[in-house]
Every structure is written in C-alpha cells, then in structure tokens.
Structure 1
Amino acid sequence: MAKAKILVVEDDRSLADVLEYNLRQEGYETYVAYDGQDGLNQSKLRAPDLVVLDVMLPVIDGLEICRRIRADPVTKKQLVLMLTAKGEETDQVAGFSVGVDDYVAKPFSVRVLLERVKALLRRLASPTQPGDILVSQGILVDRERHRVTANEEVLDLTPSEFGLLEALIRQPGRVFSRSELIDAALGGDSLVLERTIDVHVRALRKKLAGHADLVETVRGIGYRFRDPAGVHN
C-alpha cells in the first residue's frame, strides 16, 4: 500500500522540522513549505493526501490557502488540518467555513497531532462496497466514487460535507443532534465544536441549491434529511 503523502505548511522552522521528523517516523511521505505561496504551489505539485496548515503564514495566510485548495479542481479533495495559536470559537468556525477538515490549537503535543492525522486519513482508507449508492429526492450519493449529484449535476463537496450528507441521507427523517453528526460525519475522535456543524450545514445547503430544503433544521436538537414519505421519527 502506498504511503500517505502529507504536506506541512508552517513558517516556524523548528516546529516544521519536528512535525516532518515525526510524520516520517510514522511512515508518511512528508514535504514542508515555509510560506503560504510555496505551500499552495506544493499542494498542486506534490498532490498530498493531507495538508497540515498553519493559519498565520507569510505571503498567503492559511485561510486563503484553504479557500484556494477547495476552489481548485486539482486540489479540492485534499484533507486540511489547520494549526493555529488562536483557540477562540470564532477562529475555529472561520477555519471550517473555508473547508478545513479538522483543527488543532497551539500549543499541542505532537502525539495529539499524529492522532488527528490518523483520524483524518482513516476517511480515505475507510472501506466502501461497490454499488453502495444512496438516492433520495433527486440526490444521489455514491460512496464508492465519493461523488454526489443533484438531478444528475455533480456537486463539489468537501470530505466533511460529503460525510455529513451521507449520514443524513442514509436515514431520512431521523433527527441527528449536532454531537451525533460530529461522530457520524467527521469521526467520533474529531476535536470540533458542535457549532461548527452549523457551518458545514450552511455550506452544504448552499451547494445543494434548489435541494437545500431537504436538509431540515429541528429547532433545539439538530438536523434531519427530509423523509420522502413525510413521516419523521
């Protein structure tokens, strides 16, 4: 099995060196960039599976890099783990709003970061069965091809948005709490705030466009995918 490729974009060279060493020790093929422009270039050149991305970077900041990664057809499927010295909720929400898959606030232990990396990469390695296709009300989710269409038009979803939609459409009518959606869509070991699910839902609805009302808000609880039979659990 090919080694997972990881790109570290971090301007603190001592931290970057530590991360590169430990990631290589774990068996990953690892590359390093020390500024935002080089990081963006390497995300295209190296085609990493995952980008460990600092938010405060020279030339181009981490949030803008993530926006561009998600906007580029060549890089849009890359997982992004953001590092930041800011621990405020608003900063975490800002990261998820541009397509970040997970978030680690500095200071952190290397072991914690390695566990976050493993958790994210498990999404890529999770087994799927041929023909595992979910269809409801014009929305088709193809797990094998990691592809979503709405009335046969392909939607450009991030890995987290894909996981969220898959969890909801698999059980239409069932109400999921925000914490359940973190478990189902992002992984139970994902260190995110419940409020960030709202950010993902807003982004998902925007991409669903005319099908946005299929993802229903259940006030005070969470979300559900509309039951085509009109009967809710």
Structure 2
Amino acid sequence: MQTASSYKVLVVDDDQDIVELLQYNLTKEGYDVSVADNGKKAIEVAQAVKPDVILMDVMMPILDGIAACRQLREMSEFKHTHIIFLTARSEEFSEVAAFEAGADDFITKPIKPRALLSRLAAFARRESQQEEQDAVIEIGNLRIDRTSFAVYKGDQKITLPKKEFELLAFLAATPNKVFTREELLNNVWGNDVYVIARTVDVHIRKVREKIGEENIKTIKGVGYKFNTD
C-alpha cells in the first residue's frame, strides 16, 4: 500500500488561495504536490509528473475540469488515477456530470483540509484491502485480473477506468448475490466518500456497454447482481 510520502497529488484550481491552502496541508502530511491553474495546464503537468491523485476544480478558464477529466481518462496512463472534483456547485447534475466524465469523488467547497486528508487515506485503505483479495476471478468467458486491472472476455481485452473495474470485480466476487446501491457505494467508494446513489447507475451502465448486458442484472427496486443464470 502506498503511504503519504509516496503519493503524488496534483492540485488544479484557478483560485490561488485554495491552491496554497491545499498545497500547504498536503505537503505537511508528506504528499508530493504539484499545481496547475486550469484544465489545459493540468493535463500538461499530469503527463510530466504522473500523479496518483488529481484534485481538480470544475469551473476554470481555458479548459474546465469536466473536459480535462475526459481527456485524461482517454489516456492509458491515467485510466486508474484517482480524480476528485473540487467545486462550489452542489447541484446533483454537477455530480452526475463529474462521474460521467470519470471522477472518483466529488468535494463541495469550502474545502476542509482535514476531511480531504481523510478521503485520501480512504483511497489508500481500499487499495490495500483489494490487494488482499483473490488476484483473478473467472466466470464463464469473463476473466477479471485484479493485479493488472484488466478484463478479458474470451480473447478480447477490455480496459475499464478504475471505479468501473472495482465495481465489476466486487459484483463478480460474489456472483448471484444482490447488492443494494447503498451497499455498492459503501464497498466500492467507501463510507468516507460522499457520492450519490445515481453514481452506481452511471457506472453500471458504462460497464454494461463494455462487457455486455448479460453479466450484470438489475433487480428492480433492490439493486444489482452479477448474473450467472
């Protein structure tokens, strides 16, 4: 498991006061911090430093956070990078747009440094727990390799962003067991991360688009299961 001293964090915001606040608190905790003030610059810095976590504002000049996130997720080296949005906008549609773009988490300003540090620690804990699980899950013609974050359907390799992969792996680890949205949120995103139930639906839809409709079944009024029937 990575520690704070081995984590690289990129802070992206056009508000210099926020950048300085986060840079100070993260550096004090041992994180290696880089900064950028717009989405275009964020992509350039990310390509140079390869951060483990990107904390990114939504409303920025030149290139906004949503567009920057989409571009980063299209690059193979950032498929599994944690991207957390920082925004003053608390409307639900903003959260949905963030997760549609590939975000892992969503934090509303004003930002509390202690709460943010707790979020980062939660990501590290979940990564440690996942390392202790079975490395490979094989069901039918589907193979899920946790060590390489790769999914194979027959001979076809399917690449999923980190949260989509974690959701699929969690469901497949206990086939035919039905999980509510709340259970999936707690187990895949964690209790320390605030996300809405709609987030699960967005990610399920994306996973189905890539591996097929038949593997994940909706249980109306309850939740989802990995289907082997």
TM-score bin, normalised by smaller chain: over 0.9
Query: Which residue of the partner structure matches residue 203 of structure 2?
Result: 200
Q: Does 1:139 align with 2:142?
A: yes
Query: Which residue of the partner structure matches residue 214 of structure 1?
Result: 215
Query: Which residue of the partner structure matches residue 32 of structure 1?
Result: 35
Query: Which residue of the partner structure matches residue 122 of structure 1?
Result: 125
Query: Is the 1:161–1:204 contact (alpha carbons within 8 Å) kept by the matching residues of 2?
Result: yes
- Hey, what's the Cα distance between the residues in 2 that align with 1:108 and 1:17? 12
Q: 1:197 to 1:216 in 2, by over 3 A?
A: same
Query: Mean Cα displacement is larger for which, 215-224 or 139-148?
Result: 139-148
- Hey, what's the Cα distance between the residues in 2 that align with 1:126 and 1:26? 22
Consecutive unaligned residues in structure 2, runs of 5 or more: none
Consecutive unaligned residues in structure 1, runs of 5 or more: none
Query: Which residue of the partner structure matches residue 224 of structure 2?
Result: 223
Q: What do the CA deviations read for 1:154-177 (whole angstroms, capped 9, x no partner)?
A: 222111111110111011111100
Q: Does 1:82 align with 2:85?
A: yes
Q: What do the CA deviations read for 1:174-214 (whole angstroms, capped 9, x no partner)?
A: 11000000112122322111111001111111121xx3221
Q: What do the CA deviations read for 1:108-162 (whole angstroms, capped 9, x no partner)?
A: 3111111112222334444525962101122111112222222232222111111
Deviating above 4 A after TM superposition, structure 1's stretches of 4 or more consecutive aligned residues are none
Q: Does 1:44 align with 2:47?
A: yes
Query: Is the 1:163–1:184 contact (alpha carbons within 8 Å) kept by the matching residues of 2?
Result: no
Question: TM-score if structure 2 supplies the norm length?
Answer: 0.93
Query: RMSD value over aligned CA atoms?
Result: 1.6
Query: Is the 1:55–1:63 contact (alpha carbons within 8 Å) kept by the matching residues of 2?
Result: yes
Query: Which residue of the partner structure matches residue 111 of structure 2?
Result: 108
- Hey, what's the Cα distance between the residues in 1 that align with 2:139 and 2:55? 35
User: Could you say what secondary structure the match of 1:141 adopts?
Assistant: strand
Q: Does 1:177 align with 2:184?
A: no
User: Could you say what secondary structure the match of 1:212 adopts?
Assistant: coil
Question: TM-score if structure 1 supplies the norm length?
Answer: 0.92
1:47-58 correspondence runs (5 A):
47-58=50-61
Identity of aligned residues (%): 35
- Hey, what's the Cα distance between the residues in 1 that align with 2:18 and 2:84? 15
Query: Is the 1:53–1:80 contact (alpha carbons within 8 Å) kept by the matching residues of 2?
Result: yes
Query: Mean Cα displacement is larger for which, 123-132 or 97-106?
Result: 123-132
- Hey, what's the Cα distance between the residues in 2 that align with 1:222 and 1:144? 27
Count the aligned residue pairs: 226
